[in-house]
Structure 1
Amino acid sequence: MTLEYDLLVVGGGINGAGIARDAAGRGLRVLLCEQHDLAQHTSSASTKLIHGGLRYLEYYEFKLVRKALQEREVLLRSAPHIIWPLRFVMPHDANQRPAWMIRAGLFMYDHLAKREILPPSEGANLARHDAGQPLKGDYRKGFVYSDGWVDDARLVVLNAMDAQERGARILTRTKCISARREGDIWHAVLEHQREGGVQQEEVRARAIVNAAGPWAARFAQAVPQAKSGRSLRLIKGSHIVVKRMFDHPYAYIFQNPDKRIIFAIPYQEEFTLIGTTDLEYHGDAGKVEIDAAEIDYLCDMANRYFKRQIGKEDVVWTYSGVRPLLDDSAENASAITRDYLLECDDAGAPMLNVWGGKITTYRKLAEEALAMLAPHLGASSQSWTAGAPLPGGDLEQPGKMVARYDFDAYLRKFQARHPWLPAELAHRYARSYGSRVEQIIGQADSLAALGEELSPGLYEAEARYLVQHEWARSADDILWRRSKLGLHCGPQHRGRLEAWLASLPDHATL
């Protein structure tokens, strides 16, 4: 039997998951297919910031920056467990941008959009400021401003969860191998990768959204009758992770001689995340990796500022991804616009192509996509996602956005309910799952009641929840995308987790 949907979304990154959620919330029958795991590529390889993009002001991207700044606090309230405020310190280098230019940029950054949660920017005497201690003595003056941090891969999963809970069908390890338009209906063939082999399924949909990220141009070109002359530029961004370089809660933004900036950010309690690079990429988007020159570049840029010097031997983990940016003919990869374009081919059944974008503006992108599709599908034109929490984000009242941002108050209440949980584990659970953590703990009243410890900090109860509710099927899904516990485990732990996953009775059909 061929199943019928209102909307087929191709791509399980942040844009595809956000569109599926918005569409399902408007009552549409939605199917999302992702060829690999949710957020396996670009959407888990970001610098993990919810930010306006301070440096984009230099490229006169005022509209994009304003849009992103407006979204910061919407997202902070919708998912206060996985998104939180972060203060950034910018040491002033007199050989780079002049102080007056930075002050002017920060003034605009503070005032382009309304702020209620995030404090304004300010100057800082780094000789006395906590964030000045790890820096070389040359840096005595700086600036401090606000943005947000996000667990990017979990943000994608939470959007997919909300979509499913509103009626959407979410298929991972499922590739759309063909689509043809016949009048007002799309006929698509999906290919499921399962333990038992490859299975095919044909579905019909009244509209398709091409949110395939780095593969969007290829998908559009492969669809008969589809009209699109757009091209993407794939820009490689790589990050390194080293042991913690400072003990305070601030992050850094460093200006570099090549006019680029890099960030140094507190990461997973024990580490520092440093990135990113910006390089044209022409290889396989599914197999992107950092190279030695990028590691050297990031170490060198950090070493310009920090007293503690680092090299490749200090790197404990790296990750890379490609950003599919709309080709605007900019010569410098850093200057290519991070804005998005939605292109709807409605010569028959609509096909909406998503070009470009950034994680901060995904919700707005989805809202605009549905505004374009709603008239064709008879869906509600009423936007709704700005006022609805993501799963686990209702920390104060079930089903409601938080009225004020106070994660620490929620954590204290959670720890009081479960005093047997070690403080570090309680914090990670609350941060990762918010109010949904009670589904993991259930009636447990001890660590032993959570089951076997499959790898350091990972108990069976959590792993089972990730399999049953978050589409986790492999060790990498759990250790690197649903969590970052891979930073703390060795090959023996990974093997134990893989054996546990293989032992599940329905593993082949998950």
Structure 2
Amino acid sequence: MTHEDSERERLLAENQVWDLVIIGGGITGAGVLREAAREGYNALLVEQQDFAWGTSSRSSKMVHGGLRYLASGDFRLTRDAVSERERMMREAPGLVDNLYYIMPHYRRQFPGPRLFGLLLRIYDFMARRRTRRYFPGESVLRWLPGLRREKLVGGTRFSDAVTDDARLVLRILQEARAAGGRTLNYTQAESVTPGHGGHATVTLRDTGGDGGETRVHACRVVHATGAWTDRLRSQLGGDQRIRPLRGSHLVFPFWRLPVAVSLSLIHPRDKRPVFIYPWEGVTVVGTTDLDHDGDLQKEAVLNQQEMDYLLEAVHYAFPSSGASEEDLISTWSGVRPVVSDASAGKSKDPSKEKREHVIWDDQGVISVAGGKLTTFRLIAREVLDRVRGDMPKRENQEGDARNVFAPAPDIGRPAGITARQWHRLCGHYGSRVEEVLGEGQLTPIGHTDTLMAELVWSCRHEQVHHLDDLLLRRTRLGLLLPEGGRAWLESIRTHCQPVLGWSNEEWQAEVERYQRIWHQYYWLPR
């Protein structure tokens, strides 16, 4: 029996009443667990697949302050998002970092430099730091060599942030567990029986093992399953409000499409914003915004029309790049859980749907969906305010008194590790970075900054059940390396198989599973 199996049995066999059970292991559920744990509540989070398996590992990786909300006049939401963006960069450098964006301006294209500059003046004021700057004419090409010159007026630089979204979720869960929170992946909440004045009952099914069912009891239940929200809410009499929207991305090697900043581009076909940006040593192009009618239990995948749409944006922005589908390293698609106007249905343009979060109370079960990755903490605080009155009073209710992220220890950078790798390691692992170093094997894998020690440490401490957990979410090697990292699998086996305790037959089965998933969901359309 593995450590994870024994921990699962211990948590589910205690027959205790939890203060709070959280359903959903994405950014919102992780945020609620972190806030509950640091206030001293006895909280359990369960996730039907792997942590961050859904939207929270397949976003555009951007920590936006909400410039589009500012343009539509929503100053409060923009202020909150900008404040949270700055807080995350301050608390978790190396995980959430500043990224410059440039919006090129072309003749007769909206928005012009004056209007855009006015918006950015307010944006910078909210952040209490100035990053905007206008580059007239072709001087903007110093930032974006190869940019289309026809009718180019200039370009405006501004600032937002970028992250590894899956690692962000895992880091929040790490902080929550350190404060006493408990987590189980591959554990599906089949149903919830409201307490109606007593304790609610959650029926759980083991989706990573024998499929057995267990019932746990809680003072309150929070349901944060994103695109899956309607399934459980319908059991409780709630209406159907989630409109799943698919956003797809292309991953190019940096040499094929070298950008040092994020290009904010208006697509020539439908005038939607598209971004071409650097991330983890590669270049990403995204995103689309389409209704997703596929099975939510399967990973989303881009279709040929989406790939053509994104390639069209690349060729429009960089006419001489020569980038094509033959150059791609990987692709990914995610499903955004947009809360739709029930009366409008799908008649409304997907890109015009609002992204604000909504909280429902269905027979005492609190459901939350929508919102931005950037404001996960504020959403979690609001959810906790809704359930706090029905849970036992704890003495550690500190609110905003402590950081979400515990700082990395103040130790010197080890020999052989570059400054960039060290910055990244401290951000990704925080207070546990010394444990990662203790695994040895400080050699980068391929052209990435990912060290073999990170994989070994994750296998030991982060509830890895499958090889795709390790290569697509604990690390992003499946997105960053050709063929999903196939050439490095034997080396990974040497270091990770003993820690995972898998037999040779189990390892081979996991390799076949991983390659099947990668080819089906992270490669070119069939």
TM-score after normalising by structure 1: 0.85
Q: 1:494 aligns to what?
A: 489
- The answer to whether residue 434 in structure 2 is matched with residue 438 in structure 1 is yes
Asked if 1:256 corresponds to 2:267, the answer is: yes
Match of 1:296 among 298, 304, 308: 308
- Match of residue 244, structure 2, among 227, 234, 257: 234
Distance 2:144 2:499 in 1: 51
Q: 2:185 aligns with which of 172, 176, 189?
A: 172
Note closer, same or farther for the CA distance 1:451–1:422 as it changes in structure 2 (3 Å cut). Answer: closer
Partner AA of 2:456 in structure 1: R
What amino acid is aligned across from residue 353 of structure 2 in structure 1? I
Q: Is the 8 A contact 2:258 2:283 kept in 1?
A: no
Identify which of 325, 328, 331 aligns with 1:312. 325
Deviation track 1:305-331 (CA, whole Å, cap 9, x = no partner) reads 113132222221100010011102371
Matched, 1:353 2:367: yes
Q: Secondary structure at the match of 1:198?
A: coil
Deviation at 1:506, TM superposition (A): 5.4
CA deviation after TM superposition for structure 1 residue 203, in Å: 0.6
Deviation at 1:284, TM superposition (A): 1.2
**Identity within the alignment, %:** 31
1:142 corresponding residue in structure 2? 155
Partner of residue 15 from structure 1, selected from 24, 28, 31: 28
* 1:193 maps onto 2:210 in alignment: no
Give me the whole-angstrom Cα distance separating, in 2, the residues matched to 1:104 and 1:490.
45
400, 403, 407: which one aligns with 1:388? 403
What secondary structure does 1:127 align onto? helix
CA deviation string 1:151-192 (max 9, x = no partner): 110111111111111111100011011221243211112112
Partner of 2:473: 481
1:67 maps to 2:97: no
Is residue 371 of structure 1 aligned with residue 385 of structure 2?
yes
Provide structure 2 residue ranges, at least 5 long, that are not aligned to the other structure. 1-12, 504-526
Question: What secondary structure sits across from 1:101 in the alignment?
Answer: helix
Match in the other structure for 1:275: 286
Report the equivalent of 2:516.
Answer: none
Structure 1, residues 414-461: CA drift from partner, whole Å, max 9, x if none?
Answer: 43xx213467755653453345221111285xx4xx699899876664
Assess, with a 3 A threshold, how the Cα gap between structure 1 residues 50 and 289 changes in structure 2: closer, same or farther. Answer: same
Q: Is the partner of 1:233 in helix, strand or coil?
A: strand
Give 3-state SS (helix, strand or coil) of 1:304's partner: helix
Q: Gaps (5+ residues) in structure 1?
A: 398-412
Structure 1 counterpart SS, 2:148: coil
Task: Give 1:205 deviation, angstroms.
Answer: 0.6
The separation in 1 between residues aligned to 2:225 and 2:458, in whole angstroms, is 24
Q: 2:459 aligns with which of 436, 457, 467?
A: 467
- Say which of 100, 121, 137 aligns to 2:132: 121
Distance (Å, rounded) in 2 between the aligned partners of 1:114 and 1:53: 12
Contact 2:450–2:475 (CA under 8 A) maintained in structure 1 = no
CA contact (8 A) 2:408 2:432 kept: no
Residue 520 of structure 2: aligned partner: none
Query: Secondary structure of the residue that 1:338 maps to in structure 2?
Result: coil
Number of the residue aligned with 2:350 = 333
Kindly state the Cα deviation for residue 132 of structure 1 after the two structures are TM-superposed.
3.6
Structure 1 distance, partners of 2:111, 2:182, is 52
Root-mean-square deviation (CA, aligned residues, Å) is 2.8
State how many pairs are aligned: 474
Q: Deviations over 1:40-98 (max 9, x none)?
A: 11001111111122233444443322221121111112211200011101001223204
CA contact (8 A) 1:455 1:497 kept: no
Aligned pairs for 1:7-86 within 5 A: 7-86=20-99
Partners in 1 of 2:489 and 2:128 — Cα distance?
A: 43
Q: Deviations over 1:378-417 (max 9, x none)?
A: 44695535741425xx1476xxxxxxxxxxxxxxx743xx
**Is 1:9–1:30's contact at 8 Å kept on the other side of the alignment?**
yes
